[in-house]
Structure 1
Amino acid sequence: MSGYRRLLPVAEKAVAHAAGMMRHRSPGTLTAKGERDFASQLDYAIEREVRAFLRDATPEIGFLGEEDGVRGTGDMQWVLDPIDGTANFVRGLPLCAVSLGLLHDDEAVLGVIEAPFLGNRYAATRGDGATVDGRPIRASGTTRLSDAIVAIGDYAVGADAAARNRPRLALTARLAEAVQRVRMVGSAALDLAWLAEGRIDATLTLCNYPWDMTAGTAIAREAGAVVLDHDGSAHHPGSSVTLGITPGLTEQVLALVGEALREG
């Protein structure tokens, strides 16, 4: 058992509370965060309540939230996306989640992701394996692109969206020619959780925000998947992209992404 496992009940309690808020409250007022992007009133409410709970439970650990930023300092930091997939949540689509991870010296060492409307909770701590609803999970054994289901991250919106979408569109086209199916779920946390569970074989997001990726990275790695930057180096909070891949497809997927980035 790793030393991080003592923090798992704290994280699970925080996430369970947030998921309950999602199930029982409406999104409320929407606040623009740029062109075609927004946060809901509930995003802010969940973040405030989870931050306060974690501050009381683990005062020695800092906090980073998507909506209100950093609180506290130190070599360990909780990282929260209060509602990953807000656009889905607002429209009543069930593909959304609470995502709470823990960074230690910029390494994802713990993750809890709960999908309130799907009834699943994913969890992992470094060295202890990954679970869904308490059951151990492993990444798939897929080795051929033609057998692979691959998720891609949302297309860019806001400033310079056209330029930022060129490599995304190039990657989509290359995947469409090579893999069994391409999926766009709209929740990076669920993409990484499903990679860990073997439901999909890769998830490719051509950007990187810690609140989206920390929990899922910890879970996917503990399930045997790899999470990399575009050059094949280990993914970390400063990486430019987030590539989660089942091991048997790593080289093939990295080659496709490299081609798309050069083309875009």
Structure 2
Amino acid sequence: MAHDDDLRFAHVLADDADAQTTSRFRAADLRVETKADQSPVTDADKATEEAIRRTLSRARPRDAVVGEEFGSEGYGARRWVIDPIDGTKNYLRGVPVWATLIALMVEDKVVAGVVSAPALSRRWWAARGTGAWTGRSLSSATRCRVSSVNALEQASLSYSSLAGWEDRGQLSAFLDLTRACWRTRAFGDFWSYMLLADGAVDIAAEPELSLHDMAAPSIVVEEAGGRFTDLTGRPGPLGRDALATNGPLHEEILERLTPPN
């Protein structure tokens, strides 16, 4: 397929990232700073993104890079979108639910992505048109498929926090949605979307996100048979928020979460 080589290369990048992140996980001397947006960043976040960028500069020198910690570099139709540690707050507290997110976009479309969670011994990946897969490596993988749940009263919903919904003036609408669902849990971050791709969760929604949070998870969800849009229904990861579902539930939830005029 068109992007098989890019996907294999993304796995190489993820292998290097895993070595960086696991070596600093639960380290007694882990250094933590506070960014301008008041979110934390560790020396592991920075070192991992720097390592990915070095490899990209050697192996894909014509490709642009967009990373959470060091911004945009280069120009062109192809750009790699990197989140070195998604779930930094988990990482710095010793919670093993965090991952490196690596995606390749061509123009405005994600064509390949890897989500690597080494502390969980799991990885998820997808290339456009080839399905979504999970396992420890390319040679040890099973196909990801979303659930077939088609009623909210039977659906499981995952989210990250309530504060963002309150900031948007949508806390009441979101709480109403949680009450309509069979089950709700705040798995959060990449984990919500990967559980959705695995068929274990049916809905994942977040009110405040960036491209690096969404690019890799979005293609995994879509190639597993789900839908990934912003809260206005625009497909893909280019909005500032996200709704991912197994498909049948999507329109009803968009209607429930439509921002007020």
Q: TM-score, normalised by structure 1?
A: 0.90
State the match for 1:140 in structure 2: 147
8 Å CA contact 1:175–1:182 kept in 2: the answer is: no
The one-letter code of the counterpart of 2:115 is I
State the match for 2:225 in structure 1: 224
Shift of 1:155: 4.5
State the match for 2:6 in structure 1: 7
5+ residue gaps, structure 2, are 136-140
Please list the CA deviations of residues 13-49 of structure 1 after superposition, one character each: whole Å capped at 9, or x if unmatched.
Answer: 1112112222221372111114652111110000000
Tell me: higher relative CO, structure 1 or 2? Use CA pairs within 8 A at least 6 residues apart.
1
8 Å CA contact 1:88–1:186 kept in 2: the answer is: no
- Is 1:253 aligned with 2:253? yes
- Is 1:200 aligned with 2:201? yes
The one-letter code of the counterpart of 1:251 is E
State the match for 1:190 in structure 2: 191
The one-letter code of the counterpart of 1:107 is K
Distance 1:179 1:154 in 2: 17
Shift of 1:190: 2.2
5+ residue gaps, structure 1, are none
**Count of aligned pairs:** 253
8 Å CA contact 1:106–1:236 kept in 2: the answer is: no
State the match for 2:138 in structure 1: none
Distance 1:164 1:152 in 2: 15
Aligned residue for 1:182, secondary structure, equals strand
Aligned residue for 2:196, secondary structure, equals helix
Please list the CA deviations of residues 126-160 of structure 1 after superposition, one character each: whole Å capped at 9, or x if unmatched.
Answer: 0111000121111111101111111123345xxxx
| Correspondences of 1:2-41 after superposition (within 5 Å) | 3-25=2-24, 26=27, 28-34=30-36, 36-41=38-43
Shift of 1:185: 2.3
Distance 1:60 1:171 in 2: 45
State the match for 1:92 in structure 2: 94
Aligned with 2:51 (options 49, 52, 64) = 49
Shift of 1:207: 2.3
Distance 1:225 1:147 in 2: 17
Structure 1 segments (4+ residues) deviating >6 Å: none
- Is 1:164 aligned with 2:167? yes
Give RMSD over aligned pairs: 1.9
8 Å CA contact 2:14–2:102 kept in 1: the answer is: yes
Aligned residue for 2:120, secondary structure, equals coil
Shift of 1:166: 3.3
